[in-house]
Structure 1
Amino acid sequence: MKLFRNLFAFCYVLLLPITGISQSKTYTDPKPSTGIQCQQWEVIDVVFPVNKKTKAPFELVATAQVTDGKQTQQIPLFYNGKGTWVLRYSSGIMGDKSYIITSELKALNGKKGKITVVKNQKTERHGGIVLNKDNPRHLFYEDGSHYFNLAFECDWLFALDYGKEDMAKTKHLLSLLNEYRFNQVVMNVYSYDVSWPKDERLAEHPEHEYGGREDIFPFLGSNSNPDYSSLNIDFFKHFDKVISEMHDQEIVSHLMIYVWNKLVSWPEMESEADNRYYDYIIKRYQAFPNIIWDVSKEALHKTRATAAYISERIERTRNLDSYDRLVSVHDYGFCRNHADEVDFISMQNWQHTLYQNMLNARNDFPNKPIFNIEHGGYEESPYVVFPGAYVNAEVCLRRNYMCLFAGGYTTYYWQGSSWNALIHNPFEQPDDFKKPHFEYFTHMRKLFDSAPFENFEPNARYNGSGYNLTNEKDGIILIYTPKENHYTSAKVQISKEFDYENATQQWFNTLTGELTPEEKYNMKELGFWDYRPWRYEADAILIIRNLKPKNK
C-alpha cells in the first residue's frame, strides 16, 4: 500500500502544472530545480502535501521568504485541507525569484523553489489597485494607469453556484458586468439572510432566492447550528473559484470580511474562532491583485463591533498581508475618526445633499480617495428587496454622477442582485420583469474614457445650475445638467481663467450616450439663450475642450 501511494504521488508530480480548483496554475511540491513560470499579476498555487496529521493546522505558521535579490516578501502559506498547504503567489515585478519556507512543521520547513515572472500578455490587465502620492485623491493600477472605480454591489455572489462543479451563473453575471464596464464588485465573504420582510413575489421564483441557505457556511455546521472548532475548506475552495473568475475578467473584489446586519452567526469577537476566520481570509486571498480589503459592511452597526475592534482588525490585516492591498471600512464615522488607518475614505450617505456631503468629505481629506459605497439609490427590480431612498433608474444614475462630480467614486445597486435576491441573467427574464439599466454606466465609462477623470477637480465656484468638473491639464470643462435645468453655461469661468480661441463644445446624453456634433465654442453675451438638447428628457453634460489656462 505504501509503495502504491508513493507511485501515485510520483505520477501526480509528473503531470504538473495542472489547473487546480482555484483556477490558478497549480504546481505540486516541485523540485528545487524545477522552474515555475508565470506572467505579471498571474496567480499561481504551489501546493505541498504533507502525509501527516497535524493538530490545529489553521494555526500552524508556515511562511515563504520570496526574494529576487533586491526585495523580499514574507508570504504566509494557508492550510487547504487533507494535509496540504499552499503558497499562493503573484507579482508585478518581472525576473527570477527564489523562495524558502520556514515552518514549525518539519515536512514544510526548508522547502525551496524558483519562480520566474515574465511580462504580462493581457492587454486589459494592469495589476493591483494602489495609491499614488503624486495624485492622492485617485486610485491607480500598479502599472500607473488610472483605476476608474465603478462598483456594483452583489453581496451574495459567493452563493450563486455553490455546490456545483461549474461556474455558469457566476461567469454569466460577471461577463455582463464586464461587458457593461463595471470593474468592481462590492461583496461579502458570507451573508446568511436579510432581517426585513421579503417580497411575496420572490417565493414564486425560488431560483432567485439565495438567503437562508443552511448548506453554505464558512465554519463547520451551519448558520443555525454553528461549529466554530474549524473552518469549512469546501466553502473557501468554492470562494477561490469566484475570486479567480473575477480576476480572469479583470473585476476587483471589494471584499467585506464581515457583515453585521445579515443574520450571520459569528463567533465572539477576538475569540480563537474569530481570529482563525479573519486571518485565514487574509492569508488565502492576499495574492490576488484584484483584492481590496474592507473589514466589515455596516462596520459599527448597532453594538456588534467597537471602533477598537475594527482598528485591531486593520492592524491584523496589515501584519499578515505581504502585498499591502488597500484597506478601508464601510463606515464613514470610523473612516472620519481613523483616517490615518484606512487607505481611502468609505462613505454611506443617503441625504438629498449628497453632492455637498461628498464635496465636504473631499475637502476634509485632501490626501485620500473618497468612495461612496452606498448612496441610497437602489434601482427597482421585479422584487422590492430594499427600496432605500431612491428607486427610479434615472434618479439613481444622477446620484452616481453627483458622486463623480464631487470628485469621488461611486457604486451602483440593483435590487435584483445586490442582496438575497440574485438574478444572474436579468436580460433573459420575461418581458414583464424590470430590467436593470446597466447601459447607463457603459455610457458613463465612455465619457470618462475620453475625459481623464484623474485629472479633474470639482469646481463648485462655477457650478451655476449644474455641477462643474474642471481639468486644466487636458483643457476640459464638464458641466453636469439635470434634465429640469433650462440652461447652463461656463462663460464666467472661461472668460476669467482660459483662452478659448480653439475651444470646442458638445453635449453628452447620460441616458443614451449620444453626443452632439463637436462645434466651435462661441461665447455669447447671453449664453443662457443657447439651445440645450434633451431638455426635460435626459440629464446632459456640456463638454468644452481645447481650453488653455491663462498665464500658464
Structure 2
Amino acid sequence: NENPIFDRFNLSYWKHYDRVIDAMYQRGITAHIMIKVYNKMVKWQAKESEEENLYFIWLIARYSAYPNVIWDFSKEANNEKDLEYKLGRFKFIRDHDPYRRLITNHDDKATYDTGVYNKILDFRSDQQHSHWHEKILSQRKQNVWPIVNVEFGYEHGPKGIDDKTYGVVQSPEEVCRRAWEICMAGGYIAYYYTYTAWDIIRPEDTPPGYAYFKYLYDFFNQTEYWLMETADELVSDGYCLRNKNKEYIVFLNEAKEFKIKLEDGTYVAQWYDIFNGKYIDAGKISGGEVEFIPPSGFNSSPIAIRIVISD
C-alpha cells in the first residue's frame, strides 16, 4: 500500500486477527507477535510519530491481556540501524503493557552479541540456517536466558522440493531434524510451512511436520527438560542433555551405536522414533560407561533415547 492511512484501522482485518489470537489461546499456542517487519517493503509510520505510537498502543491494548502473547519489536530487526530508536520502542512497550508480557527482538545478532539487550529484553530471538546446535551453545554462553531460533527451516508442500512459495525449502524430515538439534542445545523453536508462512495461505493442508513437531513436543513434555543441561561430552556420538543423577536424553542424527557415561545407579531406557512418536524398550542398565545399539530398521534415520533413573 503506497498511501496507507495511519490514523485509521482496518477493522475487518483486526477482527480476523482477534479470532486468530483467541484460537491460539484456546489451543495453548504461543502468539509471538512481530509488531513490525523490515524486509517486506512495508511503508511504516514515521519513527516515534503520533501515528506509530497509536499503532503500538492499539496492539498492546487489544492483545496484552492474552497470556499466550509475546511481543517482538520487529522481524529482521537488524535492518533498523538506530539503536536508540529500538531501545525507545522496548521501553514504550513496557510502559504501556499492564500485563508485562515478554519482549524480544528478532534477528539482531550483532547487537545481541554486544550485550546491550541483556538486561532489557526477556529472551533472544534469532534465525540461524546452519550449525543449529553449535550456534545455540555459543549464544547461551553470551547470556543466561532463553534462546529461540525462530527461523531454521521451511517445510515444502505436498508435491515435493519444488512445491514452495519461497525460494528456500527443506523436507519435513530435515526441518524436524534441525528442530531436535536446537532443542538438544537447550534452545527453543518455531515452525514454518511454505503454505502458511508467507503470502499464500492454505489452512486446509496437513503437512507431515504438524505430526513431527507434535511428537517432539510429546517427547520433551514427558521430561523435566527445564532442569536439564547440555552434556555432549558424555557421549561418543550425538548430543546429550542431562538432569544429573536422574535423566538423560541423547539424540543421534544417524541411528548407530554409541557410548554414554552414566552416574552410578540403575536406569531404564527407551528409544524414540522421532517420525512416528513410538517408544521402543532399550532395557534396564547400570551406571558407568554403557554402549547402546539402536534397534534394527532405522538405517540412517535420526533417533533419540531417553534414560531415566529407576525408582
- Tell me the TM-score normalised to structure 1 length: 0.52
CA distance 1:332–1:468, change in 2 (3 Å): farther
Which is further off, 396-405 or 271-280? 271-280
Q: Tell me which amino acid in the other structure corresponds to 2:100.
A: D
Which residue of 2 is the match for residue 209 of structure 1?
none
Residue equivalent to 2:89: 313
Q: Point out where structure 2 has 5 or more consecutive residues left out of the alignment.
A: none
- Alpha-carbon displacement from aligned partner over 1:224-254 (angstroms, at most 9, x marks no partner): 3322243334433332222222222222211
How does 1:11-410 map onto structure 2 within 5 Å?
A: 223-301=1-79, 304=80, 306-333=82-109, 334-337=111-114, 338-351=117-130, 353-366=131-144, 368-375=145-152, 377-381=153-157, 382=159, 383-388=163-168, 391-410=170-189
Instruction: Give the direction of change, closer, same or farther, for the CA distance of 1:416–1:342 in structure 2 (3 Å limit).
Output: same
Q: 2:211 aligns with which of 423, 431, 439?
A: 439
2:236 pairs, out of 460, 464, 489, with 464
Q: What percent of counterpart residues are identical? A: 28
Question: Following the alignment from structure 1 to structure 2, what is the Cα–Cα distance between the partners of residues 463 and 470?
Answer: 11
- The verdict on how the C-alpha distance between 1:328 and 1:378 changes in structure 2, with shifts beyond 3 A counting, is same
Deviation of 1:523 after TM superposition, in Å, equals 6.9
* Mapped pair 1:423 → 2:187: no
1:538 pairs with one of 289, 301, 306: 301
Following the alignment from structure 1 to structure 2, what is the Cα–Cα distance between the partners of residues 416 and 525?
46
Aligned twin of 1:487 = 257
Shift of residue 524, structure 1, vs aligned partner: 9.3
Aligned partner letter, 1:516: I
Unaligned regions of 5+ residues in structure 1, if any?
A: 1-222, 428-434
1:469-548, aligned counterparts within 5 Å?
A: 469-472=241-244, 475-483=246-254, 485-490=255-260, 493-494=261-262, 498-500=263-265, 502-521=266-285, 527=291, 530-546=293-309
Q: Quickly say closer, same or farther: Cα 1:506–1:396, change in 2 above 3 A.
A: same
Contact kept? 1:335, 1:346, Cα under 8 Å: no
How big is each residue's C-alpha offset from its partner over 1:83-105, in whole Å with a ceiling of 9 and x where there is no partner? xxxxxxxxxxxxxxxxxxxxxxx
CA distance in 2, matches of 1:271, 1:305: 18
Displacement of 1:297: 0.6
Q: Give me the CA root mean square deviation.
A: 2.2
**TM value normalised by structure 2:** 0.90
Pairwise CA distance, 1:307: 2.0
1: CA distance, partners of 2:24 / 2:258:
41
Task: Name the CA distance, whole Å, in 2 between partners of 1:525 and 1:457.
Answer: 19
Q: Which structure is higher in helix share? A: 2
Q: What residue number does 1:10 align with?
A: none
Aligned length, in residue pairs: 304
Closer, same or farther: CA 525–255 of 1 in aligned 2, 3 Å? closer
Q: Return the alpha-carbon distance in structure 2 between the equivalents of residues 349 and 405 of structure 1.
A: 15
Rounded Cα–Cα distance in structure 2 between residues aligned with 1:516 and 1:526: 18
Deviation at 1:330, TM superposition (A): 0.4
Letter aligned with residue 323 of structure 1: Y
